[in-house]
A = this chain, B = another copy of it.
Amino acid sequence: MVDYRSDNTGRAAPEILEALVQANTGTALGYGADEWTARLQDRFSELFETSVRVFPVATGTAANALSLATVSPSWGLVYCSELAHINTSEANAAGFFGGGLKLVPVAGSYGRIDPAAFRDMLAAVQPGQLHRGQPAAVNLTQATDLGAVYRVDDIAGVAEIARARGLKVHMDGARFANALSRLNCSPADMSWRAGVDILSFGATKNGGALCDAIVVFDPELADGLAVQLRRAGQVWSKMRFASAQLMAYVENGLWLRLARASNAAAARIAAGLEGLPGLRLVAPVEANEIFLEIPSAVMDALERDGFQFYRRSTTLARFVCRFDLTDAEADALVASLRRHCTLPAKGAE
């Protein structure tokens, strides 16, 4: 069996768990007033080349929803891609933590927000009109929910439209490292320098274990968020065990090594499928996910061959590469696809 279901079905990088174990020494003040968490602030400020506040949280859903609740009043509108994870997969956590804030889907290609569509939607809302709520923020999912990546200029373009109208910019970086690895730019370039105010910094999908983080670039947002997190049950009393994970995650470039590995696996598979008839890549493979349009009979055949993956519809399959996927496993998927797509799939007539 080879598991392509999700990057969260995978293991944690051993370095991260090792750091957690190493943190189990002596006593330390609770709720983030420990030395590990203090060092984390410094380390991330260095990493992002500006003074940031970083808050470890249990999950990406918490990171997203609490970030949005921080940048939007409860009657706010938060614009996002039609396919955005916050809109399709987080049980409306944003609406809940945001006290009734509303997500507004914007069209675009490959899970991105189309700048022109976004600008038009904003233009259609009269400042002060009451019946629809008021625009408050925009969310960018990086990498997108179809495995594509916003270029730095794309981010800056959307952010500029947002800021011209007084909106804040949130990035859902559940796969921040994958996107960063793809763009080969600095964390600063892909975030605050491009206009991002607050970032859900994902680790779990990229070899982490039990925590992600919120990185706050706009200092005015941090103090309120701190109380909100405490109240949201997202502040561990033994925070050092979370902070230690995040420190290990970025130490010595581990996070980028992990992301490069899963990106490379996805690219290897995509390259192997080039020119193959009977399938269609739904989006460019720019991170560690592959969305393929294939007949459902081909999906059946892949499963018989021992591959696990998600069927998003009867003709859409998603394959996600973990950091520890081997070349042999990648090649096996390619081989299986080549076999079933070139031959008429059983039962597909």
Interface set of A (CB-CB < 8 Å, partner B): 3, 5-6, 8-12, 14, 17, 20-21, 24-31, 57-63, 65-66, 73-75, 88-93, 95-102, 128, 130-134, 204-205, 208-211, 223-224, 226-238, 241-242, 308, 322
Q: Of B27, B134, B223, which is within 8 A of A322 by CB? A: B27
Q: Of B5, B91, B99, B237, which is within 8 A of A96 by CB? A: B99
Q: Of B21, B75, B233, which is within 8 A of A61 by CB? A: B233
A322 to B, closest residue via Cβ: B27
Q: How far is the CA of A232 from the CA of B62 in the complex (A)?
A: 7
Q: Of B133, B226, B233, which is within 8 A of A231 by CB? A: B133
Given contacts A234-B58, A237-B204, contact A99 B74 (CB under 8 A): yes
Q: Of B96, B131, B224, B242, which is within 8 A of A89 by CB? A: B131
Given contacts A75-B227, A237-B60, A237-B205, contact A24 B28 (CB under 8 A): no
Q: Of B27, B102, B232, which is within 8 A of A3 by CB? A: B27
Q: Of B12, B57, B90, which is within 8 A of A131 by CB? A: B90
CB-defined contacts of A308 to chain B, threshold 8 Å: 27
- CB A96 to nearest CB in B, in angstroms, measures 3
Q: Of B65, B101, B227, which is within 8 A of A233 by CB? A: B65
A70 to B, closest residue via Cβ: B73
Q: How far is the CA of A3 from the CA of B209 in the complex (A)?
A: 29
Q: How far is the CA of A190 from the CA of B306 in the complex (A)?
A: 48
CB-defined contacts of A93 to chain B, threshold 8 Å: 100, 230-233
21 A–B contacts, CB within 8 A, in A order: A8-B238, A9-B29, A12-B238, A27-B322, A58-B58, A59-B233, A60-B233, A60-B237, A61-B235, A62-B234, A65-B233, A75-B91, A75-B227, A91-B131, A91-B231, A92-B101, A93-B233, A97-B233, A128-B223, A133-B227, A210-B210
A134 to B, closest residue via Cβ: B227
CB-based contact A233/B11 at 8 Å:
no
CB-based contact A130/B31 at 8 Å:
yes
CB-based contact B230/A61 at 8 Å:
yes
